Amino acid sequence: MAKKEENKDLLENPEAIAEKVEGLEHWVEDNPKIVFGVLGALILAVGAFFGFRYYIGTQEEVAQKEMFQAVHYFEADSLNLALKGDGNNLGFEQIIEDFGMTDAANLANYYAGVISLKQGKFQLAIFYFEDFSSDDILIQPRAFSLMGDAYMELKDYESAAKYYNKASNYKPNKFFTPTYLMKEALAYEKLDQKDKAASVYQKIIDEFWDSGEYQNARKFKAKLETNS
């Protein structure tokens, strides 16, 4: 209450304001080291912030240029060149190592994960996919699904189901979500969790009746019920 009265006094009494300002001036005069120390720290912090932004910007530009040839090799199915580089151009591995804080390096993790999966290096694929993140409606769920594929190959069906579930729940759409759901149901079947598998098949039947997976979902669900 006293604080409110003081604030009111300041608002209504210009002389009170002048006294406060004068008191602040005296404090500044009596404590120059503290004042200049605080100002110096603020200047350094602002300088470091803008310096870091500039550094990341230049790093991003260089990394994007290096990505061009690596992606070209990937699309040509020259997977080792895409991953390791050709001596003149960096591969995804080196881009990740040299430009780790850039968007290019983030995407390189995705490509490196796909390559590792194709080469049968399933644990390494998971490692790369774990370091990838995106808010893209297609790429992020695809990465989750590919992690599920890697875990399926390792016969870790519980983890596979977990990542297929993540894929199917990430910004669902009628084009890809039914495929992720089918994979999730299969993982549950491998775990002998027939109720969960049947529930996932039913979700496809109810929510994605116009998808290419609809008939398979009906067939596999009926098979589960017959064998129950």
Q: Does the pLDDT of residue 80 top 50, yes or no? A: yes
Give a yes or no: residue 88 inside a domain.
no
Give a yes or no: residue 77 inside a domain.
no
Cα distances (angstroms) measured from residue 143 to each of 56, 98, 103, 111:
25, 23, 16, 10
Q: What's the number of domains the chain is made of?
A: 1
CB 188 within 8 A of CB 197: yes
* Gap between the terminal Cα atoms of the chain: 73
pTM of the model: 0.76
Give a yes or no: residue 25 inside a domain.
no
Tokens read off for 205: 């039947």
pLDDT tens for each residue of 146-195: 999 999 999 999 999 999 999 999 999 999 999 999 999 999 999 999 99
pLDDT tens for each residue of 21-44: 566 566 556 666 665 565 555 555
Give a yes or no: residue 153 inside a domain.
yes
Distance between CA atoms of residues 105 and 98, nearest Å: 8
Q: Which residue has the higher pLDDT, 77 or 16?
A: 77
Strand partners, 85: 90
Domain of 219, in residue numbers = 144-228
Give a yes or no: residue 216 inside a domain.
yes
